[in-house]
Amino acid sequence: MPQVTVYSTQNCPYCRLAKAFLDRYGVEYRSIDVGVDRKAAKEMVELSGQYGVPVIIVDDEVIVGFDSNRLKELFATGTDPASYDVIIAGAGPAGMTAALYCARKNLKSIIISKDIGGQALESWNIENYMGYRMITGDELMSKFEEQIRQNQIQIELDQVISLLPTAGGYILKTASDQEFKGRTVILAQGKQPRRLGIAREEEFTGRGVSVCATCDGPLFKERIVAIVGGGNSALQTAIEMSGIATTVHLIVRSKIRADSVYENQIEKQSNIIIHTGCEVTELKGTDRLSGIVLRDRKSEKSEDIVVDGLFTEIGWIPNTGFLEGLVTLNYLKEIEIDINCRTNVPGVFAAGDVTAVLGKQIIIAAGEGAKAALSAFDYLMVNP
């Protein structure tokens, strides 16, 4: 049996997924919380060059992030997949709620998703989900997952990359080269973070640049960080990081467009510096990020700012690339659906933030997931 070590932080959802994967396949491992153990954090960086978690060491191999495909190669044993009444792509609020409603209708279903929780995992504090005065995205999604597990709903940690019509339903192919057949499909794969699109961004990802402050924020304790964005997510991240980092630069391209509750909190934090009307034009550093160049969009003057970390909170892009030419998408590449979550393709339904439905909220996504499952059930009753 190989020697396995998982470097993680307490609130990192992808770390939890990695550990759940290893537990599922009976792999023994040593878990180290680098958010608490500074010596171990330094050790992790020396081994991997990464300022992001999880980092998994399998004997002498370093695996950066929750790389489910590589972990499957190392530990999983393949079996031929069965057919399902409903295949659900995505395990965010919409996907997990859809799965629960499918289970209640005694439909044989499976969730296929690269993570559990979707973009809800990125939310620091949620104050508008009924039943909770305040709860983190990770905590709320953990409760969703717990209910899914209690109902023995199958979850396959993988990523859907194609959807093909076949006799009696659809074939979904995944990134790990698996195939699943379903009589119906619910698309609830959400969105992915929008990137800055500037030079060296990919190079510095995990080396100072991050799209998950929930995961990597603790690694920047008593350091200088920058947050890019002017919406609720950006301000929430800035507020949380102000309690971790010494200085937080909030970089807003035009003006702040966030709820007043977050603007009021920002004003109370003495270590948050706001740069409005500015954009990041350059990333600096050798083996890791050490600074950024800011350009004032009005005066066109630039200035160098020393930072150890950069977190981007500039919106999301629908995960619909594999659906081009199959289902109808709007100009934002969101899936067009009717009031019953039906797409233009019979037997294919969609729910959550991946759709064109107004209001990208967890509570709305969950409700849409329930509707999609009920619509899939009705479809199967008419098309046995």
**Cα–Cα dist 149/375, whole Å:** 23
Tokens of 348: 């294919």
Q: Is 86 exposed, middle or buried (0-12, 13-18, 19+ CB in 10 A)?
A: buried
Q: How far apart are CA 318 and CA 28, in angstroms?
A: 36
Question: Burial code of 9-21, b = ≥16 C-beta within 10 A, e = fewer?
Answer: bebbbbbbbbbeb
Torsion (CA) 197, 203, 208, 214 in degrees, nearest 10: 70
∠ CA 349-350-354, nearest 5°, is 160
What is the edge-to-edge ordering of all strands in the sheet holding 209-210? 209-210, 309-312, 224-228, 247-252, 272-276
Q: CA end-to-end span of the chain, whole Å?
A: 47
Q: Which amino acid is at 91?
A: A
Q: Helix, strand or coil for residue 328?
A: coil
216: annotated active-site residue = yes
Q: Which of 85, 138, 158, 216 is catalytic?
A: 216
DSSP state, 126?
A: B
Q: Could you tell me where the DSSP H helices lie in the chain?
A: 13-24, 38-48, 68-75, 93-104, 137-150, 201-204, 213-216, 232-241, 260-267, 362-382
Of residues 215, 308, 341, 353, which has the active-site annotation? 215
Catalytic residue, candidates 212, 308, 341, 353: 212
Active site residue 102: no
Is 15 among the catalytic positions?
A: no
CA distance 100 to 224: 43
Distance of CA 239 to the CA centre of its chain: 20
d(CA 338, CA 334): 13
Distance CA 213, CA 52 (A): 10
Q: Which residues are catalytic?
A: 212, 215-216
